Amino acid sequence: MPPDRAPYDVVVVGLGLAGLMAGLGATSGGARTLLVGKGHGTLRFRSGTIDVLGYWNDRSLGSPAEGLPAVAAERPNHPYALAGEDLGSGLEAIRTTAGAAGLDLDGSLEANRMVATAAGTMRPTCLAPPTMRADWDGAHVLVVGLAGYRDFQADLVASVLPAAGAKLGLEVEARAATVDLPSLHRHHLSGLELARLFDQSAFRRELLAALRGTLGDATVVALPAVVGLEHAPEAADDLARQLGVPVAELPTLPPSVPGLRLELAITAALRRAGARLQVGTFVRAIPQGGRIGWVEIQSPGHPLRVPVGRMVLASGGLASGGLEVRLDGTLRETVAELPVWLPESAQGALVGRSFLESSGHPVSLAGVQVDGAMRPLGREGSPLYENLFAAGGLLAGADRAVEKSADGICCATGWRAAQEAVA
C-alpha cells in the first residue's frame, strides 16, 4: 500500500545536469523537493563547460542563437524545438547558482567560444569558466605538464594545438614543459589529487618556482583543468598574478575537476533551498490511474515507497542507464516504462560502423517523446501521465555528441520541466 501523505511536492529522478536544473527550478518555485538517483550524474566526468549548440547539419556555428531557428524548423521533436524558449532562463539559473559559489560562467547564446582540450584540439562551447577562456589568436602558449600525471601530455598538446588553431584561422604557437615536483611524488595521481594540491598555496609556490625560468615569451600558460577544487578561483587568480600571464585550463580525462566544481555548487544551492538529495538507488515509477502514484526506491530488501505529487524524470539516455537496449535490439525506458521513439534510420541498424562515427549513430536520436510541457507522450501522441515531466538526455530528437548540445538541452528542458511541475 502506498503512503497517502505526500512528503514532497516534486520528486526528481536523476542527478545529472537536467535533474539538478529541475531541482533548482522546483525549489525556486517553493516546492518541497526530493532528488534521487542511481549514482552521480555525468557532470563529474563532463568538462564543466555548458555546450548549447556547436554544430548543425555539419556546419560549425558562430553562436547557438544562429542555429536554434533551424533546429526548430528542421527537427520538430528536438528538445530545443520544444523548450528552446527556456534556454535563456535555464542558462541564467545555472550561471547565478555557480556564481553564488564563486564560480563564474562566461559567455552568452550570442557567441560560441573555442576551448582547447587535453588532446590539443579546439571545440566550441557556449558557457565556460573564465579559466578556459584564452586569447588564442597570436598566442605564445606554454603548455605545462605535471610529471606523473598521465592524463595530460604537454608535448601532445603543444604539437597539436597550432594546427588545431590554424583550422579555425587562429595563429597559435605552443611549446611544452613538464615539471617534476616533490609534491607530485605520490603513488596515485589523478586530476582530483592535483586539484587538492592546487588548493594549497604551498604547492602553487612550488610550481611557480619551477616555472620561473621556462616562461620566456609566453602569453598564456596552459594547464590541465585541475587548478583547485574548493578554492579554484583563488588558486587560478593567484597563479596568473604570480606568473604575470593568464592561465588557461584545458579539460582532461575523468574525473573532471571543473565538472565536479559545478556539481558541488549546484548541490550546495539545492541543500540550502531545503531539497533532499539521495544518491545510490535505482527507482521505479508506479502508475496509478492517469498519473504516477508513487516511486519505488529500490533499497536493499524492500522498496521504499514515496508518494509523488509531481515527478520529473531526468534519468539520462543510453550511456546513463535511463534507456536500455534489450537483447532483441529494441529499446526500453528504465524508470517508468515509457515508450521509446526510434528514428526510421535506426530501424535496421542502431549504430554505425565505427565507435566515433563523425555523422553520429542513428540510436543517438532515440528517446522519450514529450509535448511542449515536457510530458511524455504515448504511442498515439497524447500525454501519458498528468503529473510526469521528462528532461535531459532521456529525450528524443537530438544527437548531442555531434551537435555539442548536451548541456544546453539539460538546462532548457530541466528548467522547463520544473516550471510545469510547480505550476
Q: Are 36 and 100 in contact (CB under 8 A)?
A: no
Q: Of the two residues 194 and 342, which places its CB atom closer to other proteins in the complex?
A: 194
Among 395, 397, 391, residue whose Cα is nearest residue 311: 391
Task: List the beta bridge partners of residue 114.
Answer: 124
Q: How far is the CB of 412 from other proteins (least distance, A)?
A: 22
302 scored as a contact of other proteins (CB under 8 A): yes
Instruction: Draw the binding track, 255-284, toward other proteins (x: CB under 8 A; -: no contact).
Output: x----x----------x----x-xxxxx--
Interface of this chain with other proteins, residues 18 to 57, rule: CB under 8 A: 34, 36-42, 44-45
Among 235, 239, 262, 249, residue whose Cα is nearest residue 101: 262
Q: How far is the CB of 278 from other proteins (least distance, A)?
A: 5
Q: Of the two residues 192 and 373, which places its CB atom closer to other proteins in the complex?
A: 192
133 scored as a contact of other proteins (CB under 8 A): no
Q: Are 323 and 341 in contact (CB under 8 A)?
A: no
Instruction: Draw the binding track, 308-327, toward other proteins (x: CB under 8 A; -: no contact).
Output: -----------xxx------
Among 160, 179, 192, 208, binds other proteins (CB under 8 A): 192
The rounded distance, in Å, linking the Cα atoms of 50 and 104 is: 12
351 scored as a contact of other proteins (CB under 8 A): no
Q: Of the two residues 326 and 379, which places its CB atom closer to other proteins in the complex?
A: 326
301 scored as a contact of other proteins (CB under 8 A): yes
383 scored as a contact of other proteins (CB under 8 A): no
Q: How far is the CB of 46 from other proteins (least distance, A)?
A: 10
Q: How far is the CB of 11 from other proteins (least distance, A)?
A: 12
Among 254, 293, 360, 383, binds other proteins (CB under 8 A): 254
Cell numbers 556547436: residue: 54
Q: Of the two residues 60 and 190, which places its CB atom closer to other proteins in the complex?
A: 190
